[in-house]
Structure 1
Amino acid sequence: MMTLRIISRLLDYPDEALWAHLDELRDATAQAGALSPAALAPLHDFIDVCRATDLLDAQANYCALFDRGRATSLLLFEHVHGESRDRGQAMVDLMAQYRSAGLEIDSHELPDFLPLYLEFLASQAPAQAGAGLEDIAPILALLAARLRERESGYAALFDLLIALSGVRLNDETLRQRVAQESRDDTPAALDAVWEEEQIRFLGDQGCANAEQDAHQRRFAGAVAPQYLSLDATPVAGERSCNS
């Protein structure tokens, strides 16, 4: 599963090691054989843009894109469970899945970090890797749509992952949903998320209700979790994770 391993590395934080081996990654994608020349073109274009970009600029862009707000987070469960208690159990279950495959996490990243999950899938048999991609295809498609809305080249990597999954989704539904969302990475949105609630006493229930209404209006249209129901339809015979 060399192709998944390469995409995993390109989705990780840009560092000197990655920038020093971009040429090797570009050559490896052609040798992997999982993608047609037409499908490889956007991947090669992405790598070429990376080669022409200063590393510090790439790092700043990465942090601004993936580390601010929930909309483009690379933590998969952020888009499924948000901050609910179910997220903790999902983490435990995913860690058990890693361990059952004989793998242990040796980095500081959470188990649902997308590049880490892709690296895990790359170590599995083609059928298992394809099933794993199919499971997260709705999240990948949503992220791709949001990245295209922000005119980010990273969208090409998500499009490739969706192609490898063999899943077809309703692009129009995604486009409409993303168009209705408010950006959650603006200074105002970030301040609202981290805003501390005031201490309230029992007699302040009326004020509390008014503040709650204001809070709901402020976040109307903002990004929320629970995105797995996106009319995903597996397309027979289109999965191509075979390298």
Structure 2
Amino acid sequence: MTPPDAWMPRAWQTQSLLLAYPDDHFRQHRLPLARRAAATLPDRAGAPLLAFAEHLDGRTQEDTAAEYVATFDHRKRCCLFLTYYAHGDTRKRGLALLRLKRTYAAAGWHLTDEELPDHLAVVLEFAAAVGTRDGSRLLRDHRAGIELLRLALRETGSPWSHVLDSVRATLPRLTGGEHTAVARLAAEGPPEEQVGLAPFAPDPARGL
């Protein structure tokens, strides 16, 4: 018998495709593939992804890329790097990035030098690779940041909010403690110590 949540890795892989930087291959390859996969998902996870794809139908690749950069590179509350929400630009964030890399390596999964391990598209791709149980655990570790990102995208009217709605549909309901963590992050923001991240600087042109 197929487990009821067997579709979740497919959802995470689809969400990962849509949250990566929209390069030259996005419209011709990734978007059509994501649309086909979304149509096979339960409505609560698939419908938001189809809504996102529909929004992009009337936009050029250049427009989509420009909107991606304006959304994720220029707004701190819309940061795709999940450890930023918990640790800001501090030494603790550097350690969190190393822990993520070690988690990936232990599963036989290695990143390129151009990828940071906490980018949501990367985390989702890894979650899809390791399966529902371990993937869900990893995403729950960053639940407050994911929820704050979702709310920030909704507030700005970003089409990527649909993708975050789909991510949320794969996770359990927020607990009381998680609601508190989201409210605290929204009110105070992450820590601001500006040290310890030089080896992990992302390439803003790629969004990773």
After TM superposition, the score normalised by the length of structure 2 is 0.78
Match of 1:121 among 118, 127, 133: 127
Judge conservation of contact 2:38–2:47 (CA < 8 Å) in 1. Answer: no
Judge conservation of contact 2:51–2:162 (CA < 8 Å) in 1. Answer: no
Residue number in structure 2 paired with 1:140: 146
The CA deviation at 1:117 is 1.2
- Does residue 166 (structure 1) correspond to residue 201 (structure 2)? The answer is no
**Aligned partners of 1:125 and 1:176: how far apart in 2?**
30
* % identical aligned pairs: 31
Judge conservation of contact 1:133–1:162 (CA < 8 Å) in 2. Answer: no
The CA deviation at 1:109 is 2.0
Q: RMSD value over aligned CA atoms?
A: 2.4
- Does residue 50 (structure 1) correspond to residue 56 (structure 2)? The answer is yes
Alpha carbons of structure 1 residues 109 and 45: separation in structure 2 relative to 1, 3 Å: same
Match of 1:27 among 30, 36, 45: 36
- Does residue 80 (structure 1) correspond to residue 45 (structure 2)? The answer is no
**Aligned partners of 2:75 and 2:154: how far apart in 1?**
16
Counterparts of residues 186-197 of structure 1 (less than 5 Å): none
- Does residue 18 (structure 1) correspond to residue 26 (structure 2)? The answer is yes
In the alignment, structure 2 segments of 5+ residues that lack a partner are 1-8, 192-208
Paired residue type of 2:128: A
- Does residue 224 (structure 1) correspond to residue 195 (structure 2)? The answer is no
Alpha carbons of structure 1 residues 97 and 53: separation in structure 2 relative to 1, 3 Å: same
| SS of structure 1 residue aligned to 2:189 | coil
**Aligned partners of 1:107 and 1:45: how far apart in 2?**
33
Aligned length, in residue pairs:
181
Match of 2:15 among 7, 27, 35: 7
Paired residue type of 1:62: Y
In the alignment, structure 1 segments of 5+ residues that lack a partner are 182-220, 227-243
**Aligned partners of 1:176 and 1:76: how far apart in 2?**
16
Alpha carbons of structure 1 residues 68 and 12: separation in structure 2 relative to 1, 3 Å: same
Paired residue type of 1:17: H
Paired residue type of 2:36: D
| Larger RCO, structures 1/2 (Cα 8 Å, 6+ apart) | 2
The CA deviation at 1:125 is 2.3
**Aligned partners of 1:149 and 1:175: how far apart in 2?**
15
The CA deviation at 1:51 is 2.2
| SS of structure 2 residue aligned to 1:168 | coil
Judge conservation of contact 2:13–2:125 (CA < 8 Å) in 1. Answer: yes
The CA deviation at 1:93 is 0.9
Judge conservation of contact 2:44–2:166 (CA < 8 Å) in 1. Answer: no
The CA deviation at 1:100 is 0.2
Judge conservation of contact 1:138–1:169 (CA < 8 Å) in 2. Answer: no
Judge conservation of contact 1:142–1:174 (CA < 8 Å) in 2. Answer: no
After TM superposition, the score normalised by the length of structure 1 is 0.67
Residue-by-residue CA offset, 1:158-184 (whole Å, 9 max, x unaligned) = 121122011325798799779xx6xxx
- Does residue 110 (structure 1) correspond to residue 116 (structure 2)? The answer is yes
The CA deviation at 1:153 is 1.4
Larger CA Rg, structure 1 vs 2: 1
The CA deviation at 1:30 is 2.1
**Aligned partners of 2:164 and 2:108: how far apart in 1?**
27
